[in-house]
Amino acid sequence: MKNLKRVLAVLLAMVMVFGLAACGGSSKKSGSVYWLNFKPELDETAQELAKMYTEKTGVAVKVVTAASGTYSQTLTSEMDKSAAPTMFVIGNQAGVKQWKDYALDLKGTAIANELNTDAYNLYDETGKLVSIGYCYECYGIIVNPDLIEKAGHSMDEITNFAGLKKVAEDIHKNASKLGFDAFSSSDMDGSSSWRFTGHMANLEYFYEERDAGGWSECPATLTGAYMDNFKNLYDLCINNSCTEPTALANGGHDAENEFKTGKAAFFVNGSWEYAAVSETVPNATMIPYYCGVAGEEKAGLNCGTENCWAVNAKASEADQQATIDFMVWLVSDPEAAGKMVGELGVIPYKSAPASQNGFLADAEKYTANGCYVMDWATNYQPNVDDYRAALVSALNKYNADQSAANWAEVKTAFVDGWAVQYQKANQ
Amino acid sequence: MKGIFKNPLRRWSWLFMGPIVAAFAIGFVWPFIQGIYLSFCKFRLIRDAQFNGVDNYIAAFADETFTHSFWYTALFAIVSLVLINVLAFTVAYLLTQGLKGSNLFRTVFFMPNLIGGIVLGYIWSMIFDGILSRYNTSILLETKYGFWGLIILMCWQQVGYMMIIYIAGLQAVPEDMLEAAKIDGATKSQTLFRVTIPNVMPSITICTFLSLTNGFKLFDQNLALTAGQPFIIQPDGTTIKTTEMLALNIYNTFYGSSSTSPGVAQAKAVIFFILVAGLGLAQLAFTRKREVQQ
């Protein structure tokens, strides 16, 4: 009996120890793919594609999706593991700075050869191709043309800031009569502030960049030459809206829903909203950020991406090859590429099917009409989280009291804050 | 040899202690040592750490935002320490006076402690803004609202927990002492200050220790309620996050995009540990002296 107890005790202890060990280890075959996905909305499709690929080729593909807004945290911890992601996202210049040492030079690889444009690729200062775009997006002002007409105006009136202002202010003035307002809410909480501190801010960066003949890396300082233009559009947006500017700080308004249910005619957002918005507003269209810059009648939408794949330079050669093969399959296999396009709108690859996204079609229409594309200069924002947080704080103060002094603070956060964060990021 | 075999408990102790010791070493001791090492390194990933001496510490001490968040945290910790303990003791005292429904009240007061910090932060930000929006302002616009908002939130969450500890202390005050005081003609307040409080000193020690360290370590509630807003935007473009506490400052530093930022954050974390441990021990020594032996 005593012996039996001893044996039992030893067995139990062994179960505990091995149980712990089993949690940590996983067997690793050569030539597998671990995709750390950046876009939560792509997760379901990505999992499905991974399964399809494994069934077809026998290559193991693991897809993990980081929760919204936590990619850099997840990437930092995952990259430290022995089975690190082989395929991850480096989406902007700050990311290039942080992760370039872990990214394989993709120049001349099979996946790079599948691309139909170089416009969305990211390079480091030595010219290494750090990451390649796998989809691109556009943002601007989403408009409900039916409401514009209901208010007695037409889309043809909106070809520049003066036209936009006239229409928006008229709608706001008559909001109670019309039953809808001009702009949907511009909340400043984390779920919405990026539409302004990340996207609308781009108009200032873009025109500065254009004056400078293009940026190839993050500039150390900004001139703030187009701050008044940013103010034009921002003021129009917060002062002609269904929500009072003083109520924006903590959020809680659903801008998308306001637009979808016909409570607002304008909605500042991007092409990824197409599926949601076109359900109830099938005629929805997207116009550029008109802000009072000379010649803006020829402006197009803001096109770019933060979705760029990188391959882990520290992974084994077999894993790297498996990853590149998988990427090529994703963008060239008719079924896989079809699913990718269905979820992402458009992917910049030679053999991928055409997009069904109306807003991306708008972007192409502008380009076809000879308008200039406003590229995503916003991707250069240095120390992006801190920079934007300061901007949000200054805008909150300005929303509560639109005084000249408070705007001066917004300008300080926008222009001088850039220089400060640039210094910090380049220490 | 014979002795060991005679005592089966001792012979098998490694078996029962082993897993716990291993878990503690893997989950605490090793990361702790590695954390101290990393505070002297420049790194993005832990396995690629490069030793760079005390540079991180120099950068940490030179960081204005770190000193600001230290003083802000210290002020917060002291105010919350006093308020939480006074309120918790008062509630505990009232609930040990044999009132009807005491058990129900105890449960109700304890319940906020079961809600997670992030959720609490968001709920309270809605409550505060529901009120402040009537005056066209928000908790994110004034430092003082952010400060007192966090104090109210922490009191609401912690008072119930500390109350439970105080109730246990109050129930352990010997009846004969209280009776003797009564016979000697002591007033209620004399009994409270001369008999009851000296007897619950052990509870006071543990509660002040917990609320002091909780105050310093606060993170979730700070992140969810204000995340450091409002900022002071200085003329040169630098910012001070007026309601950012130490833990949040360390977190924000870690995820900065400079190549040195994780190392600096690690150095700040080590300084933070020394500070909290030092203060906690000092406070323990101070209140322990005032405990009476029964």
Partner-chain residue, chosen from B44, B236, B252, that has the shortest CB–CB distance to A416? B236
Distance between CA atoms of residues A385 and B278, nearest Å: 33
Q: Is the minimum CB–CB distance between A8 and chain B shorter than 8 Å?
A: no
Q: Is the minimum CB–CB distance between A78 and chain B shorter than 8 Å?
A: no
Dihedral (C-alpha) B278, B279, B282, B288: value to the nearest 10 degrees? -130
pLDDT of residue A24: 39
User: Residue B56 — left, alpha, or beta (φ > 0 → left; ψ -120 to 50 → alpha)?
Assistant: alpha
A382, A218 in Cβ contact below 8 A?
Answer: yes
pLDDT at B159 over 60: yes
pLDDT band, very low/low/confident/very high, at B16 (cuts 50, 70, 90): confident
In a domain, A5, yes or no: no
Token pair in block for residue A94: 């700050």
Considering the domain architecture, whether residues A330 and A293 belong to the same structural domain is answered as: no
Considering the domain architecture, whether residues A148 and A115 belong to the same structural domain is answered as: no
- The per-residue pLDDT for range B97-117, each reduced to its tens digit, is 888 888 888 888 888 888 888
Closest CA to B93 of B194, B16, B185, B200: B200
Q: What is the pTM of this model?
A: 0.82
For B49, which residue in chain A has the nearest alpha carbon?
A80
In a domain, A337, yes or no: yes
A106 phi and psi angles, rounded to 5 deg:
-90, 0
Contacts of B233 in chain A (CB under 8 A): 390, 393-394, 409, 412-413, 417
Closest CA to B239 of A28, A357, A113, A388: A388
Considering the domain architecture, whether residues A131 and A237 belong to the same structural domain is answered as: no
Distance from CA of B236 to the nearest CA of A (A): 6
> Could you give the C-alpha distances from B43 to A232, B30, B53, B268, in angstroms and in order?
43, 18, 13, 15
pLDDT, mean of residues B129-141: 87
Range of the domain at A408: 138-304+366-425
B193, B282 in Cβ contact below 8 A?
Answer: no
> Could you give the C-alpha distances from A395 to A178, A249, A264, A413, B230, in angstroms and in order?
29, 9, 22, 9, 10
pLDDT band, very low/low/confident/very high, at B293 (cuts 50, 70, 90): low
CATH number at residue A38: 3.40.190.10
Considering the domain architecture, whether residues A262 and A172 belong to the same structural domain is answered as: yes
Is the CB of A250 less than 8 angstroms away from the CB of B125? yes
Considering the domain architecture, whether residues A146 and A169 belong to the same structural domain is answered as: yes
- Pick from A322, A350, A378: which residue ends a domain? A350
pLDDT band, very low/low/confident/very high, at B6 (cuts 50, 70, 90): low
Is the CB of B237 less than 8 angstroms away from the CB of A418? yes
Is the CB of B233 less than 8 angstroms away from the CB of A385? no
Q: Which residues neighbour B73 within 8 Å (Cβ) at sequence distance 6 or greater?
A: B215, B216, B218, B245, B246
Partner-chain residue, chosen from B12, B237, B258, that has the shortest CB–CB distance to A412? B237
Partner-chain residue, chosen from A73, A80, A249, that has the shortest CB–CB distance to B255? A73
Q: Is the minimum CB–CB distance between A403 and chain B shorter than 8 Å?
A: no
Distance between CA atoms of residues B126 and A242, nearest Å: 20
Of B128, B233, B250, B261, which to mutate for an interface test with A (greatest number of A Cβ within 10 Å)? B233
pLDDT band, very low/low/confident/very high, at B237 (cuts 50, 70, 90): confident
Is the CB of B252 less than 8 angstroms away from the CB of A385? yes
Contacts of A427 in chain B (CB under 8 A): 59, 258-260
- Pick from A350, A385, A411: which residue ends a domain? A350
Q: Is the minimum CB–CB distance between A384 and chain B shorter than 8 Å?
A: yes
Question: Which amino acid is it at A186?
Answer: S
Partner-chain residue, chosen from B47, B59, B140, that has the shortest CB–CB distance to A396? B140
Considering the domain architecture, whether residues A50 and A189 belong to the same structural domain is answered as: no
Considering the domain architecture, whether residues A282 and A153 belong to the same structural domain is answered as: yes
pLDDT in tens, chain A (427 residues): 455 566 555 555 555 544 444 443 343 446 899 999 998 888 999 999 999 999 999 999 999 999 877 888 899 889 988 899 999 999 888 888 889 999 999 999 999 999 988 888 999 889 999 999 999 899 999 999 999 999 999 999 999 999 999 999 999 999 999 999 999 999 998 889 999 999 999 999 999 999 999 888 889 999 999 999 999 999 999 999 999 898 888 888 899 999 999 999 999 999 989 988 998 999 999 999 999 999 999 999 999 998 999 999 999 999 999 999 999 999 999 999 999 988 888 888 988 888 888 999 898 889 888 899 999 999 899 888 889 999 999 999 999 999 999 999 999 999 999 999 998 888 7
Of A82, A98, A218, which to mutate for an interface test with B (greatest number of B Cβ within 10 Å)? A98
B165, B206 in Cβ contact below 8 A?
Answer: yes
> What is the complex's ipTM, to 2 decimals?
0.80
B65-288 CATH fold: MetI-like fold (1.10.3720)
Considering the domain architecture, whether residues A185 and A75 belong to the same structural domain is answered as: no
Q: Which of residues 98-157 of A touch B (CB under 8 A)?
A: 98-99, 101-102
For B129, which residue in chain A has the nearest alpha carbon?
A250
Is the CB of A420 less than 8 angstroms away from the CB of B139? no
B294, B174 in Cβ contact below 8 A?
Answer: yes
- The per-residue pLDDT for range B255-282, each reduced to its tens digit, is 876 778 889 999 999 999 999 999 889 9
Partner-chain residue, chosen from B18, B233, B258, that has the shortest CB–CB distance to A390? B233
Q: What percent of chain B has a predicted confidence (pLDDT) above 70?
A: 97
Domain map (residue ranges) of chain B: 2-55, 65-288
In a domain, A10, yes or no: no
Considering the domain architecture, whether residues A345 and A402 belong to the same structural domain is answered as: no
Considering the domain architecture, whether residues A124 and A40 belong to the same structural domain is answered as: yes
Considering the domain architecture, whether residues A310 and A265 belong to the same structural domain is answered as: no
Closest CA to A377 of A418, A423, A420: A418
Partner-chain residue, chosen from A13, A20, A397, that has the shortest CB–CB distance to B15? A13
Domains: count for chain A? 2
Q: Which of residues 10-29 of A touch B (CB under 8 A)?
A: 10, 13, 16-17, 20
